[in-house]
Structure 1
Amino acid sequence: MDLSIIPHRIVFFLVPNFSMIAFASALEPLRLTNRTLGKTVYEWTVVSADGEPVKASNGLAVGVDLSLDQARHRLLDEIKPEMVLVCSGVKVENFRNAQFEGWLRSMHRRGIAVGGLCTGAWLLAQADLLEGKRCSIHWETLPAFAEKFPMAEVHADLCEIDDGIYTCAGGTAALDMMLHVIEEHFGQSVMTKVCEYCLIDRIRNQRDRQRLPLQARLGLHHAKLLLIIELMEANVSEPLSLAEISEYVGLSRRQVERLFRRHLGRSPARYYLEIRIDRARHLLLQSNMPIVDVAIACGFVSASHFSKCYREMYGRSPQMERAQAEAYL
């Protein structure tokens, strides 16, 4: 048999509320590679827990080929897959399935690559596959993930590959990750042709940032001010004092105060509070952490003080924020 014509087989496991853009961004490059080479070099199978269609976070339902039970029995031996990619999205922490987690561990033990798209790293960590491993997850979920799975080495990169485990931040980062895979399989020229079909001019580096740099996000160009904001964002659970910040950047407290008033229209303390409240909001929306734990993780000494600050900023309590998000979903 000519082994060169055996297609690479990839399994997509869909979790309710999965990210459609991440799923499509991972799947379409495979189809375009087949088109580029004029033959089937990639095959894919879509699986769900019960074999029923799965609704994405945008409300569209996607049909599947197999249930998890069928996949466990069929995707072995002669049709053994090369990679299993878990596609998830919002409220990923609500999905628990012991059979699914055991299946992922079994795939990994067999030498099959296992990956997560968007928030898929959460489910890989839940299956005990990410201890001591570098991984990537969507920036919105990253704070909750870091709190829940401290043994995983999570990074705010587009994608990570570590010991046969592939994770990416979702969105179009899934496209970048799969382009890396395609280049490994078929070389740069094929990958470049797929890029042309996708109307992109380059494949981004795996370690590129998910979010825009602070300078672009905030429209700031003052190096000292940017450094201070980076310090604040890196020290949320144990906030630094203004004296500590001033000493670190080599400015007086009065100079720091003036910088914030001139460029951001508020005091350093207020801006730091906004960073912590924003982090808390992501934890409320992207995790099931008790509100008191969210408060502690964001540097508040009590849940009552946290609730007061949160209400002042968003006009609703943390409890209302979480209830409203759950009702929307």
Structure 2
Amino acid sequence: MAAGDKNAATQTGGIEPVRHFVFILIPDFTLMAFSSAVEPLRMANRVLKKEAYSWSVVTLDGQPVKASNGLSVVPDGSLADLKTGRLGFHRPDMVLVCSGVTVERLSSADLFGYLRRLHGQGVPIGGMCTSAWLLARAGLLEDRRCAIHWETLPSFAETFPDVEVQADLFEVEDNIYTCAGGTAAIDMMLHLVGEQLGPAVAERVSEQCIIDRVRKPQDRQRLPLNARVGVHNSKLLAMIELMESHLAEPLTLAQIADKTGLSRRHVERLFRQLLGRSPARYYLDLRLDRARHLLLQSDMSIVEVAIACGFVSASHFSKCYRELYGRSPQADRRQAGGSTAPDLIS
């Protein structure tokens, strides 16, 4: 794969230096997030008719790395090459890490130490898709805000309680940039281009990308609730929102009815008429769905997952889980673990 010109000392028009970015790709990284971050830089160069940005691609060992969709990317070098200046520059203007579905398996003291050192030197650090996980392990996110993909957010929040994780498109704090992945990487990079080259350039890049607007950091990651559940009844949607925000400490049906100003009988009728199941069943399914995400995306114990999802005992949790998914939590975790790569330690 072709990377940008790696000479960070190159001058553009004799005035501004070319900003050189480094992308560190982790095995099973999300190709959509990576390409969505690179393309706005390329487009900025195109609309300006000069080189404002260049970039390099790095992997931990310098070998080609496979994305989660099976495509491989050939890097410009290894993390060791990057640290020792063998890539043709001594310090990048920004480093962005891109990971994917197996991020919780990575442990790299070299990577974490390098990111801490660069951040201490004032170099902006970015994490795309699930890479906030790695920045948190590197100690860069404690008491700071960050964004991460909504599917990974529950396990991240349980693992890193000192990090203020948000379900936003992207977050910027203390020179650390994090985004939810997917096309949110475009929004984060457009924000960065706007900061560095001006809003007019960011708008022109947006038009080149066929994007009708530059989304704000706090724009939602997921579809609106009414689109996800396929109903438009405001009372029902309010009850579902209550359930989703109280998974660890479930509300009683009486509490839900009271908070929405309805009778228990009316609550029961709305759920059965519009969703085809009782409110208790719907609430249980929400908690089990959260539990399944925690099981497959964290190393929390079965008991910890059960407690985090509002179950009073691991045995009750396992019984409910088996009834819905046809196998025990332990079996589900083993099956998922058997289909993914081994722990990535460097």
Letter in 1 for 2:224: P
- 2:195 is the alignment partner of 1:184: yes
Tell me if structure 2 keeps the 8 A contact 1:140–1:286.
no
Letter in 2 for 1:166: Y
> Residues 167-212 of structure 1: CA distance to partner in whole angstroms, max 9, x if unpaired?
0000000011101111112222222222222122111111001001
* Separation (CA, whole Å) in 1 of partners of 2:245 and 2:218: 18
The correspondence for 1:230, drawn from 226, 241, 244, is 241
The correspondence for 2:141, drawn from 117, 130, 139, is 130
The SS at the match of 2:193 is: helix
Q: Which runs of 5+ in 2 are unaligned?
A: 1-10, 341-346
- 2:172 is the alignment partner of 1:155: no
> Residues 233-282 of structure 1: CA distance to partner in whole angstroms, max 9, x if unpaired?
01111111111111211212111111111111111110000100110111
CA offset at residue 219 of structure 1? 2.1
Tell me if structure 2 keeps the 8 A contact 1:75–1:81.
no
* Separation (CA, whole Å) in 2 of partners of 1:4 and 1:218: 54
Between 1:132-141 and 1:283-292, the stretch displaced more is 283-292
* Separation (CA, whole Å) in 2 of partners of 1:21 and 1:157: 18
> Residues 94-129 of structure 1: CA distance to partner in whole angstroms, max 9, x if unpaired?
000111111111011000111100000000000111
Aligned residue number for residue 272 of structure 1: 283
The correspondence for 1:298, drawn from 309, 315, 321, is 309
- 2:62 is the alignment partner of 1:51: yes
* Separation (CA, whole Å) in 1 of partners of 2:166 and 2:197: 28
CA offset at residue 66 of structure 1? 2.0
Between 1:300-309 and 1:146-155, the stretch displaced more is 300-309
* Separation (CA, whole Å) in 2 of partners of 1:93 and 1:314: 23
- 2:250 is the alignment partner of 1:239: yes
* Separation (CA, whole Å) in 2 of partners of 1:59 and 1:191: 32
The correspondence for 2:16, drawn from 5, 9, 31, is 5
Aligned residue number for residue 36 of structure 1: 47
Aligned residue number for residue 288 of structure 1: 299
Aligned residue number for residue 150 of structure 2: 139
RMSD: 1.7
> Residues 290-318 of structure 1: CA distance to partner in whole angstroms, max 9, x if unpaired?
22211111111122211111111111221
Aligned residue number for residue 256 of structure 1: 267
Quote the sequence identity (%): 61
Tell me if structure 2 keeps the 8 A contact 1:91–1:287.
no
Aligned residue number for residue 343 of structure 2: none
Q: Which runs of 5+ in 1 are unaligned?
A: none
Matches within 5 A, 1:85-96: 85-96=96-107
Change (3 A) 1:78 1:95: closer
Letter in 1 for 2:170: C
Letter in 2 for 1:261: R
* Separation (CA, whole Å) in 1 of partners of 2:101 and 2:168: 19
* Separation (CA, whole Å) in 2 of partners of 1:294 and 1:324: 17
Tell me if structure 2 keeps the 8 A contact 1:132–1:152.
yes
The correspondence for 1:67, drawn from 63, 66, 78, is 78
Letter in 2 for 1:56: A
Tell me if structure 2 keeps the 8 A contact 1:81–1:112.
yes
Tell me if structure 1 keeps the 8 A contact 2:23–2:97.
yes
- TM (normalized to structure 2)? 0.91
Aligned residue number for residue 8 of structure 2: none
* Separation (CA, whole Å) in 2 of partners of 1:30 and 1:4: 19
* Separation (CA, whole Å) in 1 of partners of 2:320 and 2:300: 18
Between 1:272-281 and 1:184-193, the stretch displaced more is 184-193
* Separation (CA, whole Å) in 2 of partners of 1:4 and 1:313: 63
CA offset at residue 77 of structure 1? 11
Tell me if structure 2 keeps the 8 A contact 1:17–1:56.
yes
Aligned residue number for residue 172 of structure 1: 183
- 2:128 is the alignment partner of 1:120: no
